[in-house]
Amino acid sequence: MMMDFTGKVFIVTGASSGIGLSCAEQIIALGGHVIGVDKNATAVDNDAYGHSVISVTDERAIKNLVNTVTDKYGHIDGLVNAAGIWGSSKPFYEMDSEAFQNVFDVNTKGMFLMSKYVSRAMIPQKRGKIVNISCIRASVFRNNMADYAASKGAVVSMTSAMALDLAPYNIQVNSVAPGFTYTGMTSASFDNPEVREQSEKLIPNGRLGIPKDISSVVMFLLSDMSDYMTGTNVFADGGYHIQK
C-alpha cells in the first residue's frame, strides 16, 4: 500500500520550521494540501500550501481559521500539532509562574484548541487523523525541565483521552515522541561538538535525529495504513528510551 494524500487537506501547526515544516513538505510531496499555522512567516512556496500567521493560543483565530478551511475545501482530513516551545531550563523551584504557564499554553493548550475545532469539522464526515508531537521527555527525564516535561506528559495523556472521545467517529488520534532531534530549537545546544558527541553516545542508532525522521512517522499515522492505531505514543528516538 502506497501513501497517497491526493485530494486531502491537512492543517499543520509549527509549520515554519523543524518538524512542522518537514511534515508540511512531506504531505505536499505525497499530493496533499497543507494549511500551515505558525506565529512566524514561512519560506514554503508551493501552490499546495497556504500559510496563516496566528498563535495556537488564540482561540478565536483558530476557530476562524478552521471555519475558513472547511468553507473552502469542504473537509479536513488531518491535523498535525507540532507547535511547541522549550522550557526555562531551571529547577522547578526557581521557575517563574508566568513562564511555566506559557509553556503549557503553547505546548498543551494550543494542541487542545486546534484539536477541539478541527475535530468538530471531522466528526460529521466520520473520518480523520490527528497527530500530536510529544517528546521523550514525557517519560524519560533529566533535571531542569519540569515545565517542559509536564507539558509534553500532558500531550501524551490528552492524546489517549482524545482518542477515546473520537473513536466512535472513526477519527484516530496518536502522538509521536521525538528523541534528540536537530532542529532550529535545539541547534544552539547540538552545535556544541561536545554536547553532540555525548548525546549521540546515548542513542543506540548512533546519531541525532533530523526532522524527516520524525515527519516520516507522522506520515504513516496520517495515512490509511494506521487506521487500527489510536491513543498510542510512538517513540522516534533512535532507541534512546530503551537503552537504560
Amino acid at site 37:
V
Paired sense of beta strands 78-81 and 9-13, if any: parallel
Cβ partners under 8 Å of residue 53, min gap 6: 38, 39, 40, 41
The three cell numbers of residue 107 are 505546548
The three cell numbers of residue 219 are 506520515
**Within 13 A of 171's CA, how many CA atoms are on the CB side?**
29
Cβ partners under 8 Å of residue 189, min gap 6: 195
Q: How many helices (H) and strands (E) does the chain have?
A: 8, 7
List, edge to edge, every strand of the sheet that includes 233-236.
49-53, 33-38, 9-13, 78-81, 128-133, 171-178, 233-236
- The region that residue 187 occupies, defined by phi over 0 for left and psi between -120 and 50 for alpha, beta otherwise, is alpha
Q: Are the beta carbons of 30 and 48 closer than 8 angstroms?
A: no
State yes or no: is 169 an active-site residue. Answer: no
Active-site pick, 49, 148, 182, 240: 148
DSSP letters, 36-95, are: EEESS------TTEEEEE--TT-HHHHHHHHHHHHHHHS---EEEE--------S-GGG-
Residues acting as catalytic residues: 148
